[in-house]
Amino acid sequence: MAPIRANSILPARREDIELHTADGLTLVGELARPLDTDPRATLICLHPLPTHGGMMDSHVFRKAAWRLPALAGIAVLRFNTRGTTSTRGTSEGAFDNARGERFDVAAAIEYAEFEELPNVWLLGWSFGTDLTLKFGCDPSVTGAILLSPPLRFSQPEDLTIWAETGKPLTALIPEFDDYLRPAEATTRFAPIPQAEVIGIPGAKHLWVGDAETVLDAVVTRVAPGVPVPLPTEWDGPMEFGDSSAYADRTVAAFSDVPVTGPSQRKA
């Protein structure tokens, strides 16, 4: 048995993919599926604000794609929204302040439908939570999980749509978030009766040091038959990613604003 570290890559069927939007753009991404079985659930990851370093490789999403196919039987679809760059490449187009990105979300959902991926959940982080709330309430989507939602671009009418569908919605709120903390989040999400608002003690907006907490919470909701906490060791082949490739990228929503509370923990 070997410990699963931040850059550990567990076995999966991984393929580079392209998404094609209704307004004519090609977006780059990756789909990771369980190696030898059909997935029990699917995550479509919507990343933080690209103008401040958000991308498909933002660390929680990277760890989800590297671990969850093997540990939980979950397929993970990651992609760069328009104008966003990562080591996978650059998606066509330009950042559009949560307007044109509606086509990006639709293209990802359509890709999952075409591939017949089961039990599709949206996993939004920061800016990606606004995209989830604004554009993700699609008939083929089972539900959504929001990480550090700032509720910056989404509007009350977007929350109303989710409320009316009854689709499950979970918001994971860091205790020391830069933009929305647990008490206020409970009030802001009150219009969605089925919304589950969970404060995470000690966490901050970037989830540094708390990725495992997030992944356990995600698995509990999208694949409730999988025991958590997820294993921290792996008995089998393991590769390792190049963490230095992301050393110059942040995953802040708008800026890294200091807030009261403990300093950010190490990854």
Residue 263 covered by a domain: no
Give the phi and the psi of residue 233 in degrees, each rounded to 5.
-130, 155
Assigned domain for 125 exists: yes
Number of H helices, E strands in the chain: 6, 14
- Is residue 181 domain-resident? yes
- pTM of the predicted protein model: 0.93
Mean pLDDT for each 10-residue chunk of the chain (267 residues)? 96 98 98 97 98 94 98 98 96 98 98 98 98 98 98 96 98 97 97 98 96 98 98 96 66 38 36
pLDDT at 248: 55
Is there a domain that residue 216 lies in? yes
Q: Identify whether 229 is part of a domain.
A: yes
DSSP state of 192: S
The answer to whether residue 259 sits within a structural domain is no
Cβ–Cβ under 8 Å, residues 104 and 38 = no
The CATH number of residue 66's host domain is: 3.40.50.1820
Residue 83: CA count within 13 A, CB half-sphere: 13
Pick the closest to residue 112 from 146, 138, 132 (CA basis). Answer: 138
CA distances, 138 to each of 25, 126, 171, 253 (Å): 21, 20, 18, 25
Number of folded domains in the chain?
Answer: 1
Residue 102, domain extent: 2-246
Query: What is the pLDDT at residue 242?
Result: 81
Q: Look at residue 245 in the predicted model and tell me its pLDDT.
A: 67
CA distances from 177 to 65, 87, 189, 209 (A): 24, 28, 16, 14
Distance of alpha carbon 35 from alpha carbon 120, whole angstroms: 18
Is 131 contained in some domain? Answer: yes
Neighbouring residues of 105: CB distance < 8 A, sequence distance ≥ 6: 46, 122, 131, 132, 135, 136
